[in-house]
Structure 1
Amino acid sequence: MQTQKDYAGSVYGGLGHLLLAFYNKYQLKPPQKLLDVQPLERFDYVIWHDLLTTLEQQLQRPALGLEIAALVQPKYLGILAYIALSCETLSDALMRYHDYHRLIYDGTPLQISIHNEILSIGWDDIPFNLSSQITDEVAIALLMEFLKSILDIHDIRLHEVHFKRSPPKNTMIYEQYFRAKVRFNQDKAQIQLTVSELSRPLRQGDQTLQELLKQQAEGLLEKLPHATDMDQRLQQAILAGLQKNMFQIEAIARQMNLSVRKLQRYLQQQGKTYQQRMQEIRCMMAQQYLKDSRLSLQEIALLLGYSEQSAFQRAFKHWTAQTPQQWRSNYLASAK
């Protein structure tokens, strides 16, 4: 029986789709438990752990988690993948992965640290009985495939990769995949890379998020009867800032090539403060996101720059006198 102490959070439903894609590729019969989670937005990490363990026992081959992760596509990572596509450097992308990775797995925080010019990214709070070599492999390989396949960085240079379990018979498979020293029997599962890698520019092959931001900005402008060029620039800056978790007035003014004082003076002429304008945009965007039933409340909260779903819910009720779920239910009912 699962105890509260052993509870390790939940995973994004897209990981269930990823695992099913692996079964389909190799013409394996998927277990009923995997089929049961296909329609779910999220499911317990324990189920994910059990599904991977069952597959590992069935196939009994090393580095299976690397094979599974190799099939990842943006749709399996949801909004996280598209947010990252707006980043300009590897550093920005990793910070977004850090900020939003809870959308993929919310059981333990992703830990990032720097020591002697080496950046470490890892997880170490999952109960030992609920982690395994294959769960660690998938977690690390998903991050690698996120960098290689989604951000198009195929020559990422790692320093080392660490796993907590004992080494398998053939460790060369891992070193060939990561192209770095791989160590086993370590304190935590993590990847390490030199700080100098962080400044690498990203090649943008997918402008999905930029187009989404443009559509959002245009939608907001329609609500303003006398929108100016400055209004448009401000709204686009705030929308982009929300995606990158950099939406304080100093960051927005810098993005617009204005001083904070000049931006405040412009807003004062409109009878607004920056905070008021920010909340207006958040409210309008929240309503737009809520119309899309594919977005969970947690995803919407993070897209609006809230670190916790509860904070978003309180703010939305203050704006509209309804909870987000009530507003969505009323909208969907009226749209029928």
Structure 2
Amino acid sequence: MQQFKDYTGSVYGGLGHLLYAYSQAQGLAISEKLQQVQNLERFDYSLWRALLTDIEQHVQVPALGLSIAEYVQPKHLGIIAYIALSCNTLGEALYRYHDFHRLLYDGSPLQVNIQGNYLAINWGEIPFNLTTQVTNEIAIALMLQFLRLFMEFETVHIHEVHFTHPAPKNVALYEQYFGCKVRFSQALAQIILPIQELAKPFRQGDQTLQQLLMQQAQALLEKLPHCTQLDQRIQQAILMGLQKNLYQIQPIANQLNMSVRQLQRHLQQQGTTYQQRMQEVRHLLAEQYLKDPHLGLQEIALLLSYSEQSAFQRAFKQWTGSTPQQWRKQQD
């Protein structure tokens, strides 16, 4: 626990936009603190907690975190919303959420454990005094809303939800929202799902995000010479492959129903190689992501399937002669 003594986690800037949207919808005055975070890529977890406390004091509604989460849109979730589009099942989405959770909400480390026939997702390790009931509510409710946004049905069946703080007067509100037993004064804040839920399918992609990816694909195609129908399919396969971290030539060839040798021969006729084509896609995508002020360099590196931010920075400098930071400033 020692490493959390002076905990200084952070949250994604889009969550500041979520609080702004909620405040506007409720007719609340926008505080100076809330206004200041609107243009930030990330801001401190302590400030996030303070903003939630401010809103709680003004509205004084029960289950505030659940009410705020109702207003979440894909744009508030950043990288997770981009990547969720490529998920096929609830299990895959939870795997992604676990991997990238701290980029969205670094208020608590996320842990996943199997308990018999159930999967427990908990927010542990953060000392009790650094959380509030509202910070825990919104952490759990945001994850549930994330799942609901991308599933092809409305209900995710939950076994139980646990909170660490004492039970409020209106426990029924929580049980109605989650559709299950909700326990308070527990050791961990957690959501417990039946394992069979993990096989549930996702819809074929949120239309807004699908449109975003198609715009990116089209922008890539327009910049490539000698574009054929096969080239278009290659571009789209690489684009989606980068989202899934399956961008190597073998899975791309499989997706195109081609052998690796056939794909290499086609690209050779175009005077290029698979590695060059994939790097062209990364380069053009990088420039589009850098135009989004809320995407940090670490997030962009992950979106482009770089294991390290430094590898992305080196590649970008080779492509443009500028670092990503320099290129972004030049666009202002």
Q: What TM-score do you get using the length of structure 2 for normalisation? A: 0.85
Deviation at 1:49, TM superposition (A): 0.8
Cα separation, 2, equivalents of 1:264 and 1:107: 46
Which residue of structure 1 lines up, in the alignment, with residue 240 of structure 2? 240
Mean Cα deviation higher: 196-205 or 127-136? 196-205
Which residue of structure 1 lines up, in the alignment, with residue 22 of structure 2? 22
Which residue of structure 2 lines up, in the alignment, with residue 7 of structure 1? 7
Which residue of structure 1 lines up, in the alignment, with residue 37 of structure 2? 37
Corresponding letter in the other structure for 1:303:
L
Q: Do the aligned partners of 1:85 and 1:151 also contact (CA within 8 Å) in 2?
A: no
3-state SS of the aligned residue for 1:6?
coil
Which residue of structure 2 lines up, in the alignment, with residue 74 of structure 1? 74
Deviation at 1:157, TM superposition (A): 0.5
Cα separation, 1, equivalents of 2:265 and 2:111: 40
Relative to structure 1, the CA distance from residue 107 to residue 56 in structure 2 (aligned partners, 3 Å threshold; closer, same or farther) is closer
Cα separation, 2, equivalents of 1:121 and 1:178: 14
Q: Which runs of 5+ in 2 are unaligned?
A: none
Relative to structure 1, the CA distance from residue 267 to residue 189 in structure 2 (aligned partners, 3 Å threshold; closer, same or farther) is farther
Which residue of structure 2 lines up, in the alignment, with residue 277 of structure 1? 277
Q: Do the aligned partners of 2:4 and 2:127 also contact (CA within 8 Å) in 1?
A: no
Backbone CA RMSD of aligned residues: 2.9
Cα separation, 1, equivalents of 2:262 and 2:115: 40
Q: Deviations over 1:254-306 (max 9, x none)?
A: 32233445445555666755444322321232123334445443332232123
Q: Deviations over 1:63-112 (max 9, x none)?
A: 22111111222232235334424433223333333343333224554333
Q: Do the aligned partners of 2:105 and 2:139 also contact (CA within 8 Å) in 1?
A: no
Deviation at 1:115, TM superposition (A): 3.6
The within-5 A match list for 1:294-309 is 295-309=295-309
Which residue of structure 1 lines up, in the alignment, with residue 51 of structure 2? 51
Deviation at 1:238, TM superposition (A): 1.0
The within-5 A match list for 1:91-102 is 91-102=91-102
Cα separation, 1, equivalents of 2:120 and 2:5: 27
Q: Do the aligned partners of 2:237 and 2:256 also contact (CA within 8 Å) in 1?
A: yes
**Structure with more contact order per residue of length (Cα contacts < 8 Å, sep ≥ 6):** 2
| Residues 1:172 and 2:134 aligned together | no
| Residues 1:134 and 2:134 aligned together | yes
Q: Do the aligned partners of 1:291 and 1:328 also contact (CA within 8 Å) in 2?
A: yes
Which residue of structure 2 lines up, in the alignment, with residue 161 of structure 1? 161
Q: Deviations over 1:157-187 (max 9, x none)?
A: 0122122223223322211111112222333
Which residue of structure 1 lines up, in the alignment, with residue 148 of structure 2? 148
Q: Do the aligned partners of 2:158 and 2:178 also contact (CA within 8 Å) in 1?
A: yes
Corresponding letter in the other structure for 2:311:
A
Cα separation, 2, equivalents of 1:292 and 1:21: 19
Q: What TM-score do you get using the length of structure 1 for normalisation? A: 0.84
3-state SS of the aligned residue for 1:47?
helix
Paired residues in the alignment total: 330
Q: Do the aligned partners of 1:8 and 1:126 also contact (CA within 8 Å) in 2?
A: no
Deviation at 1:308, TM superposition (A): 4.2
Which residue of structure 2 lines up, in the alignment, with residue 215 of structure 1? 215
Cα separation, 2, equivalents of 1:32 and 1:221: 44
The percent identity for this pair of structures is 63
Relative to structure 1, the CA distance from residue 212 to residue 31 in structure 2 (aligned partners, 3 Å threshold; closer, same or farther) is closer
